[in-house]
């Protein structure tokens, strides 16, 4: 079925998973970059594959037309062609094989859509319009990116390290006042380079829980 109704948000673990990209141009390259950022194993099939894609040591490729059997054995398939007939064929083949498929700017031939993403280390904000307006998602991404600076990566690191330390000591992280710590001046301290002070502020907030 094409994408319809509310969508279920999920973060997929693609490390070491085989993903197929059908298409070899600039749009395909952007999709490949997103998959490679998640350490997926990417294979490309297209009549012509751009030099930039060929130069990526983490990508395998074949210059030939798509064939129906190509979708077998992959976790995800992404189509990035300008041929609606190819997009539709890939969707039918992948759907029949039980493989999730996304077709760039072609929601009728998708079993999932891709959000616009802003990352700072492990912190990820995904923005989606459910395939209704990729332009709006991109616009929202630019606005969120202005707010999500590198200090959030440091903040996530401090929180993670403290959580691990509490667990290693046999304690429970449930019931601790993490929100109070986040509402404190931790971010301001990080922004001004006072990492040790931010760490102490976190400990103080948690110890008073």
So what's the pLDDT on residue 1?
A: 42
* d(C-alpha 59, C-alpha 145), whole Å: 28
Q: Could you give the domains of the chain?
A: 1-114 (3.40.50.720), 151-207 (no CATH)
Mean pLDDT throughout 138-144? 94
So what's the pLDDT on residue 200?
A: 96
Q: Give which of 75, 73, 83 is closest to 22, Cα–Cα.
A: 83
Q: Residues 37-65: pLDDT tens digits?
A: 999 999 999 999 999 999 998 899 999 99
Q: Contact at 8 Å (CB) between 201 and 184? A: yes
* d(C-alpha 9, C-alpha 94), whole Å: 20
* d(C-alpha 53, C-alpha 56), whole Å: 5
Residue 51 phi, psi dihedral angles, 5° rounding = -60, -35
Q: For residue 192, give Cα distances in angstroms to 75, 81, 160, 201.
A: 43, 46, 21, 14
Q: Contact at 8 Å (CB) between 209 and 177? A: yes
Mean pLDDT throughout 168-179? 92
Mean pLDDT throughout 20-35? 96
Strand partners, 103: 79
- Say what percent of the chain tops pLDDT 70: 98
Q: For residue 126, give Cα distances in angstroms to 26, 88, 115, 142, 191.
A: 22, 26, 6, 12, 24
Q: Residues 2-11: pLDDT tens digits?
A: 456 788 889 9
Contacts of residue 39, Cβ cutoff 8 Å, sequence gap at least 6: 14, 15, 16
pTM: 0.80
């Amino acid at each position: 079925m094409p994408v319809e109704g509310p969508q279920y948000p999920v973060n997929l673990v693609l490390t070491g998973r085989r993903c197929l990209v059908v298409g070899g141009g600039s749009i395909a390259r952007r999709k490949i970059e997103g998959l490679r950022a998640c350490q997926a194993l990417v294979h490309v099939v297209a009549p012509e594959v751009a030099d930039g894609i060929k130069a990526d040591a983490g990508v395998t490729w074949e210059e030939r037309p798509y064939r129906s059997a190509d979708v077998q054995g992959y976790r995800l398939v992404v189509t990035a062609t300008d041929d609606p007939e190819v997009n539709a064929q890939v969707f039918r083949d992948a759907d029949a094989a039980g493989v999730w498929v996304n077709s760039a700017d072609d929601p009728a031939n998708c079993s999932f859509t891709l959000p616009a993403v802003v990352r700072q280390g492990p912190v990820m904000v995904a923005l989606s319009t459910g395939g209704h307006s990729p332009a709006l998602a991109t616009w929202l991404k630019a606005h969120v990116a202005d707010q999500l600076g590198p200090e959030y990566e440091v903040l996530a690191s401090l929180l993670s390290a403290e959580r691990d330390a509490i667990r290693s000591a046999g304690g429970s992280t449930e019931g601790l006042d993490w929100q109070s710590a986040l509402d404190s001046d931790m971010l301001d301290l990080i922004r001004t380079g006072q990492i040790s002070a931010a760490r102490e502020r976190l400990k103080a907030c948690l110890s008073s829980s």
